[in-house]
Amino acid sequence: MQQPIEPITAAATDGNGIDMLALVLHASLPVQLVLLLLVFGSIASWVIIFRKKRVFDRADREADRFEERFWSGAELSKLYAGATERNREIGGLEAIFEGGFREFDRIRQRRGVDSRIQLEGAQRAMRAAASRELDGLERNLEFLANVGSIAPYVGLFGTVWGIMVSFHGLSSVKEATIATVAPGITEALVATAMGLFAAIPAVWAYNRYATRVERLSVRYDTFSEEFASILQRQAHADEA
């Protein structure tokens, strides 16, 4: 009765080691589906991790470059003209600046509009631009959070199922030994290991990128407040 188990044991072991491919190939169909799902989640997570790294690095560089130009004493009108000329290429702080100055200049051209309304319009435009930028930075982070939180449970499901199958097979065995159930349990535990393999990088990346989003959000808010102060002084100067 133990003959069907012996080939699996031989295929799953390589000397003193474990042949992971053999374990997966000899696993039950539900466990194989769980492993396939976890592999897909892991690959997708790593793709997002590398892409988001480039996105955040570019956002930091663009913010550094624009702040250097902004605080170098350049005229606001020239900065705005440069941003308008390449409107599709701008992002981050420059997009916030462009939106705020455009709204400020549009309202300023109206007659009889006081400085408070000009400033409020510019602030609303900057908040909208900042929200769009942060939304782009946060895109796909939800997927990392889902993989990090769900993958261990998916792997645990595969483990429980594999162990259930292994112990169910003991009903047809007269003499149960560790060698009888070891291959099936090992196959089942592979699902747990795969779940952790998918979840740990996703959780780490999500926490790191969420922190970077928060830092950029603070940076955008600080710039908006400073730029609003400059616009307020300019609006009062126009009224004088």
pLDDT in tens, 101-112: 999 988 888 767
- Rounded CA-CA distance 214/93 in Å is 15
Residue type present at position 134: L
Q: How many CB atoms lie within 10 A of CB 47?
A: 12
Go through 62-95 and write b for each residue having 16 or more CB atoms within 10 A of its CB, e for each that does not. bbeebbeebeeeeebeebbeebeeeeeebbbbbb
Q: In the prediction, which pLDDT does 2 show?
A: 38
- Is 70 exceeded by the pLDDT of residue 56? yes
Q: In the prediction, which pLDDT does 11 show?
A: 45
- Is 70 exceeded by the pLDDT of residue 18? no
Range(s) of the domain holding residue 160: 5-239
Can you read off the two tokens belonging to residue 52? Answer: 């988001």
Least confident of 102-116, 192-206, 207-221: 102-116
DSSP state of 197: H
Give me the phi and psi of 24, to 5 degrees please: -70, -45
Mean pLDDT score, 87-108: 87
pLDDT digits (tens, 9 = 90+) for 161-201: 877 777 766 666 666 566 666 666 777 788 888 999 999 99
Instruction: Report whether 155 contacts 34 (CB < 8 A).
Output: yes
| Number of domains the chain contains | 1
- Rounding to the nearest 10 degrees, give the CA dihedral for residues 159, 175, 168, 35: 30
**Antiparallel, parallel or unpaired: β 13-14 and 17-18:** antiparallel
